[in-house]
Each structure stands twice: as structure tokens, then as C-alpha cells.
Amino acid sequence: MSNAVESRLQVRGWKGYTALILLWQVTASICFYSVYAVTPFIRDEFGISATYVGVMMTTLTLGYTLFLLPVGSIIDEHGEDRALVLGLLGLAVGAVGVTAAPTYLTLLAAVFVLGAFYATAMPGTNKAVFNAIPADRLNTSMGIKQVGVTAGSGISAVLVPWFGAAYFGWEVAFLLAAGWAVIISIVFWSIYDAGSRSGDSNRHGIRGHLANPEYMLLAAAGFALGAGLFTTIGYTILYIDENVGASVVLAGVTLAAAQVFGSAGRIGFGWLADHLSMPLTASTLRILCLQASASAVLFVAVTFVDSPVVALVLFSLLGFFVLGFTGVYYSCIGSLVPTEEMGSATAGGQIALNCGALLAPPAFGLIVDTRSYEAAWTMLAGASFVALLLLVVLLWRT
């Protein structure tokens, strides 16, 4: 880190930069996850089936995934500061577009734009953490920043339905989110000056990462862990409602508790990585091994749930580990690549997580339909065990 950056950090402190990056992440996630919260109103307004609601969700994820690599490369080449500002402005445009869409096809176009500009989030904020935060606080900052994802999702899940059910309508929630994104983009542009660095002529981008066996092992483990993360979020309520016999309200409380514990895990494991007396790669890999092994055990344990109280406890613990791994995962990626290539490296790692999100939930549902929930959760336990094996191999190689 340059002397100029160190001087600025002495003035503002790592906590100030962490708060700024967290504010960006919360704002971006509000815009992105509002699409998930608005689905019942969209279905009624456009008169579409549940299948077409699913197509809208896929379009959002597709825009996000397709733009990760080019955005990551741009961030490596030109720095994260402008990319993060433009990302929020693009999210604001997409949010306004959703409210103004006259047809289902134009709605899909607006949702695609939202996904495309959300692709600035992980490459940009992760690189900002590595550029702006001192090494002894890096993992803690990364974990706090990752809480912005769950916080933004939670805020949108509350505000969009509330506005939709009120007199003002759901469109007002989207317009407020867009206006807030514009305000925070201005704030970010005015304050952030933590030595955003661009790449050099020797930068290899994603091709260089794909040729790195350590990086590929970590990405493969990320795919397996991402499968568990997104499937847990998607099926917890259904499982508790259909298999445990609890009410939908109690099932929702259980999922919310898992999210809260997941946020605590992101911060707690980041703090632990900062306080282990070992290199960053070694500390993060050991923690990821712990998270993967605990997740495998807990995925098996939830098949024995027989009461709402037991479900609340087990899914909270599961959230702590399987929802709490992302901050350490990104820190580990950063330890394997130069900081100036963090954008493209994060993009590849996020694509691995997204692929897990695209493939595992349908497979889980198919197993439930053809066999049982117990078999489906066991499948996720197997995926976590595979992740553990990959991480152990990676730890042995480093």
C-alpha cells in the first residue's frame, strides 16, 4: 500500500472506509433484491404465470452473470472507483425502468439492466477492500462488507411489500431506491480516494486465473458451497412448512434467523482470520475447511428435524456456517492473485457461486419430487463434503 494511501487511512481510519464500502453494498443490494420482493405485484399487474415470474428471475441472474467477467476486467484495467459510481447509477436506471415498463418484454429488459450493473458489486467492492483496508483488518472488513448483501436483501423484502400494500404502490419503493442510489453514488465519488489502482501491461485477466490450479480448486469449492448457500435460502421455508408442519410465519422467522446468523458468521470468521497468526491463504483456507465440514454435518442434521424449535436452532447454525463463508472466500481469492487482478479474480469466483445457484436448486427440487427432502438435504451435505476435499487439497498445495 502506497504512502499516500496509508496517510489517508490514518486520517479516516479503516472503519470509515469499511462503512463507506458497506453503504455502497447495501444500496446496490436494495436495488437488486427488490426484484425478488416485487414478484407478487408483478404477477398481478402483468397477469403472468409463475413460470414467467421464474423467467424474470433468470433474466436478472443472467444479466448479473454475463457481465461479471467484462466488468471485472474493466475494474482491473481502470480501477474500482469509477466503476462503483457508474454501477449505482446504472442500478438506479434499471430500477426506474422496472416501474416504467409497459409490457412484460420491456420489464425483462429493465431487469436485465439491473443484473448487468449489479455485476460491479463483488469485483468492485472486493478490490476496494484490498486497496483501502490495512492487512491486519482486511478479513474483518470483508466480512462486514458482505453483510451489506443480506442487509440490502432484508430491507427490500420489508419495504417493497409494505409500499405495495399501501396506498403509494410498489413503484414508489423502486423510485426511492433509485434516488437513494444516486445520492450514495455522489457520496461515494466525493469520499472514496483509497488509491484505486489499475492494472499494468502484464495483467492476464481471467485466462491467467484459469491457468492457476489453486484458483481453480477454490472456485470449484465455491461452486459446491454456493450450491448449499442458495438452495438453503430458497427451500428453508418450504421444508419447514411442508415437512416440519410449522406455519409459514414461523418458517419465515427461521429463515430470517439463518440470515442473521449468516451475517454474524461473515463478520466473526473475518475477525478470526485477522487474528490467526499465519499467512492469509493459510488462515482463510483453514476457516473454509471448518465451514465446509460443519455445513456437511448440519445438512445431514436438518433431515432429523421434528419440531419448529429444533428447526430454528439447526437452521440458525447452518446459516452461521454455510451463509457465512462468502467474506472469507473472497479474502482467500485475494490471497491467491495480485491486488491489481482482484476484479477479474472475484468475477470468476462469483460466477462459480452463481452456477451453484443456477444448478443446485432445481436439482434439489427434483430430488424432493422424486424421492424426499431427506435425500435432497443429503445431496447438499455431499456437495459440502466435496468442497471440503477440494479445500484440503488446496491447503496441502499452498
Q: What is the pLDDT of residue 2?
A: 41
- Same-domain pairing of 64 and 175: yes
31 in a structural domain = yes
Same domain for 308 and 239, yes or no, is yes
Judgement on whether residues 221 and 269 belong to the same structural domain of the protein: yes
Q: Cα dihedral angle (130, 122, 217, 379), rounded to 10 degrees?
A: 140
Of 158, 191, 224, the last residue of a domain is 191
- Quick one: 270 and 183 in the same domain? no
User: Are both 8 and 115 inside the same structural domain?
Assistant: yes
Q: What is the pLDDT of residue 3?
A: 40
State whether 271 and 319 are in the same domain.
yes
Number of folded domains that form the chain: 2
Residue 156 covered by a domain: yes
Same domain, 81 and 182: yes
Do residues 34 and 183 share a domain? yes
**Is residue 83 domain-shared with residue 113, that is, in the same domain?**
yes
Ranges of residues in the chain with a pLDDT under 50 are 1-11, 198, 200-202
Residues 292 and 315 in one domain: yes
The per-residue pLDDT for 7 is: 39
Same domain membership, residue 259 and residue 167 = no
Is there a domain that residue 196 lies in? no
Range of the domain at 357: 205-397
199 domain-assigned? no
178 assigned to some structural domain:
yes
CATH value at residue 15 = 1.20.1250.20
200 falls within a domain:
no
> Do residues 371 and 222 share a domain?
yes
Question: In the prediction, which pLDDT does 203 show?
Answer: 54
